[in-house]
Structure 1
């Protein structure tokens, strides 16, 4: 079953969020320090991923084109509006921002990354769900910690996680018909690097060092595909 790993990943995020609700009343200074720890860990993970690149020009062009597309489509604003809309269905008006922040932050952390792509590809290509189940355990723990600081909105991140990873897994069942293995392996490396830089940006946002509109950079994980293909043909 191609979607088995994705479903387990989603369930573990929900479980982590529900457990996190029991720890929401811990003192603010503890929450702040925990969030700083998460931010630092997220930056480290992102840097490790970003350093995997073998073609920095592909990463750069992907981010540039992704930023232009994202700003034109106002993706960051759209994500926040979606989070606010979801929040309005569950909490009073004055708490919507918390729901939106939890939804957007958690979604970006859980969706962007090598494990999402590689795990979903493994599920679809080989029926191997180990990577996604491992990711699910990590995501569940992160969801627990995020919920203590960002609230119940974290649980709604399960929707983009399941749609994104499930879509890749289903696509992967047919992808070997279209993309040669050599090209696919190189693409995964550059996709990992682009995702890593976006994760670094999330970490910087969590630490409140700078406010990067990560949502408007998301198209980079799509534009990297044609850019790498052209790069592979000529370089």
Structure 2
């Protein structure tokens, strides 16, 4: 878990540093930073989809995942619950920033493969690299949305810690198909966040988060037969 703790520390440290910039940045500069983040999120999301789509053995699973996951999220109304919770602590657009941060930090090959590599091979390379990247990203996010971005570190700890624990339990039986499908669906969600940041269209990304569970369930069930 050393790599995950480093990753978390970098996010918190970057958020604190970004807070100092946030206090002195004019509104127009915050706007251009948000647009830059939107473009960056779209680039990261598109790259994930393009890289992993050819590796998929379940070409329509991402469509099923987004449809089923979206319906579940809408039924539970995750977006409103998330917004209401965040708005208790901040009246700004922190909820949008946090949703983007969590997706950027958690969905990606380094964030998924890093805990697996540490658990099975005691190699911290992926997570140390990911931590540095997340630290830099958190500076930019916190300079735009405020110190509240640091709360995304909790989600990162739970996400990577869970993957680390599962990898220890399953050892060499980790399924590459699950990682591939998770990355494709996650990449699409990151693109959706970018679209929202660019104010092209408001998408309730949080309501789509259950989509990430669908590939895990479907592939696990299919392997039983």
Q: TM-score, normalised on structure 1? A: 0.86
Could you tell me which of 38, 43, 57 is aligned with 2:60? 57
Structure 1 range deviating more: 21-30 or 194-203 = 21-30
Two-structure CA RMSD over aligned residues (Å): 1.9
CA deviation map 1:165-190 (0-9, x unaligned): 1111111101237xx45xx1122111
Are 2:119 and 1:121 equivalent residues in the alignment?
A: no
Structure 1 residues 98 and 41: CA distance shift in structure 2, 3 A? closer
Segments of 5+ residues of structure 2 without an aligned counterpart are none
Tell me the equivalent position of 2:184.
193
8 Å Cα contact 1:50/1:193 also seen in 2: yes
Shift of 1:229: 4.1
8 Å Cα contact 1:114/1:191 also seen in 2: no
Q: State the secondary structure of the residue aligned to 1:20.
A: helix
Are 2:102 and 1:107 equivalent residues in the alignment?
A: yes
C-alpha distance in structure 1 between counterparts of 2:113 and 2:64, whole Å: 22
Segments of 5+ residues of structure 1 without an aligned counterpart are 88-94
Are 2:68 and 1:77 equivalent residues in the alignment?
A: no
8 Å Cα contact 2:92/2:145 also seen in 1: no
Structure 1 residues 166 and 153: CA distance shift in structure 2, 3 A? same
C-alpha distance in structure 1 between counterparts of 2:104 and 2:147, whole Å: 16
C-alpha distance in structure 1 between counterparts of 2:97 and 2:67, whole Å: 27
Tell me the equivalent position of 1:36.
35
C-alpha distance in structure 1 between counterparts of 2:28 and 2:92, whole Å: 21
C-alpha distance in structure 1 between counterparts of 2:99 and 2:199, whole Å: 15
Structure 1 residues 165 and 109: CA distance shift in structure 2, 3 A? same
Q: TM-score, normalised on structure 2? A: 0.89
